[in-house]
Amino acid sequence: MKIIHITAECYPVAKVGGLADVVGSLPKYQNNLGEDSSVLMPFYDTAFTKENSFSEVFSSEIDLDRTFSFSVRKLDKSTLGFELYFIDIPELLFTEYVYSEDDTLRFLAFQIAALQWICGLKEKPNVIHCHDHHTGLTPFMMSYANDFAQLKDVPSILTIHNAQYQGWFSHEKSHLIPEFDHQHFGLLDWDHSINPLAAAIKCAWKVTTVSPSYMEELKQNANGLEQLLAHESAKCIGILNGIDVNVWNTETDPFILKNYSLSTLDAGKKANKDWLCKEYGLNPKLPLFVFIGRLVGEKGADLFPEIFDKVLNAHQISVLLLGSGSKDIELGLSELNTKHSGAYNSYIGYDEKLSHIIYAGADFLLMPSRVEPCGLNQMYSLRYGTIPVVNAVGGLKDTVIDLNEEGFGILHKELSVDLAAEAIARGVELFKNQKKFKEIRKEIMSIDHSWDVSAEEYIKLYKSIK
Ligand code: ADP
Ligand code: GLC
């Protein structure tokens, strides 16, 4: 089966969050199952595109408000486990960032160029798999744009990684979409604007979310798309994300300071923790609670200053944070640096290497998310022997079982300062019982969250269409 994933992010080329990790690993596992799965993404100006070589396989032009030349480039000698193709539109896509304030033109041009290329392929794909709103107009254009009529019968799949962002733009820009029969205009609209995510939910042949619980939650809370999802529920299914266990492997991870296995777990984690504590001025004897991620409301980050202040006043613990996002939240957190110096520290920014060291060196990983479509951090932390302390939503609910239910993690039922602080207090208690604490972290390292099962579920889904 020939599968093309179309995406804005893919690890290791360009990563803003978990979308990149998913698209950078699922195709590899699909290929391991004997399929022909590849990835198509924009050609950005990143370290990866600077350091690798590419061959042009196609070139043409697209007409939007003006004409843009583009080429399709293929990564030479891919070692990623899948073939990687790029749409290169230098004026629009060759940027150091993935997302900006207004990406309508960029991602529309990307999708149109992608479909032009695919239309010209001798062997058409059996499935086009789109990810999030950046590729949300693709299913519509495949079904209704005159230029892409050849792709009418090719099934399109949409995976919703995050329904908060929908790519809205005004009707005034609808002339940018290649010509189509206007009786279908309603498919593009949701609540008086062009809504690429809604259009994809309406037009894709199947829709998936990245965990089963998130699928259910979206029916109640989908940033305005609740009714649409309820209406389309027959073609929707939740498939839990997996992780790339080759990249996330404590025995071989080149980023961490000391590699470890189940039998060397204590020494390995200690070496990584000692380094972190030295680097960030924290006491290595105390339990280390960490957060890694985007500082936004969905992650519960607006409550971090209050939560951390409360637990740092109440307990002898260390807290380390890696992330960036809302400037207000960053400011609130910086006050903790002064107030709780020696117990709290942060690195405001993005650092892939540091994130690996933190997963390895931490005792507990905090994810008090309000909304978490899947969440990969908790799966990485399990694999690195770090106990997750999470709010019971979305994928967190589907992957973490509470200690009180014969599980291995700490869950709170809702997000509030008090409930998150109580959950952290349970972690502090667990840390005091070193025997139990060590048993649990050994147990969690063996939990299998690799893509093996879910990659197969996607293949089954594709096959169910034909
Ligand atoms: P989301 O996609 O909502 O941000 P996920 O849990 O799915 O959340 O994935 C986040 C991914 O991004 C993980 O691989 C995590 O380690 C990584 N990450 C998030 N913030 C940072 C950061 N500041 N530095 C390094 N890695 C980060
Ligand atoms: C989104 C979600 C996150 C999920 C990731 C990968 O960014 O916020 O929960 O893990 O996509 O699917």
Q: Using alpha carbons only, how large is the chain's radius of gyration in Å?
A: 23
CA atoms of 156 and 207, how far apart (whole Å): 9
The answer to whether residue 155 scores a pLDDT higher than 70 is: yes
Q: Note the helical H segments in 250-383.
A: 265-279, 304-314, 327-339, 352-361, 377-383
- Is the pTM higher than 0.85? The answer reads yes
pLDDT in tens, 383-405: 999 999 999 999 999 999 999 99
pLDDT in tens, 35-53: 999 999 999 999 999 999 9
How far is ligand 2, taken at its centre, from the CA of residue 38, in Å?
20
333: tokens are 């957190």
Pocket of ligand 1 (CB under 6 A): 17-19, 21, 292-294, 322-324, 350-352, 355, 374-377
Q: Does the C-beta of 17 come closer than 6 Å to ligand 2?
A: yes
Q: Which residue has the tokens 């993935």?
A: 98
Q: Does the C-beta of 24 come closer than 6 Å to ligand 2?
A: no
Mean pLDDT (whole number) for 208-219? 97
Percent helix, percent strand, percent coil in the chain, to nearest 5: 45, 20, 35
Question: How many residues does this entry show for the chain?
Answer: 466
219: tokens are 């029916």
User: Cis (ω within 30 of 0) for the bond into 12?
Assistant: yes
**Which ligand has its closest atom nearest to the C-alpha of 242?**
2
Is residue 396 within 8 A of residue 409, CB to CB? The reply is no
Q: Does the C-beta of 8 come closer than 6 Å to ligand 2?
A: no
How far is ligand 1, taken at its centre, from the CA of residue 142, in Å?
32
Sequence-distant (≥ 6) Cβ neighbours of residue 224 within 8 angstroms? 166, 190, 191
CA atoms of 65 and 325, how far apart (whole Å): 33
CA atoms of 229 and 233, how far apart (whole Å): 6
Q: What is the pLDDT of residue 382?
A: 98
CA atoms of 5 and 461, how far apart (whole Å): 15
How far is ligand 2, taken at its centre, from the CA of residue 354, in Å?
20
Q: Give strand pairing partners of 388.
A: 365
pLDDT in tens, 68-122: 999 999 999 999 999 999 999 999 999 999 999 999 999 999 999 999 999 999 9
Q: Give strand pairing partners of 19.
A: none
100: tokens are 């900006």
Is residue 5 within 8 A of residue 39, CB to CB? The reply is yes
pLDDT in tens, 161-203: 999 999 999 999 999 999 999 999 999 999 999 999 999 999 9
Q: In 3-state terms, what secondary structure has residue 114? A: helix
How far is ligand 1, taken at its centre, from the CA of residue 273, in Å?
20
Look at residues 84, 147, 83 and name the one whose alpha carbon lies nearest to residue 113. Answer: 147
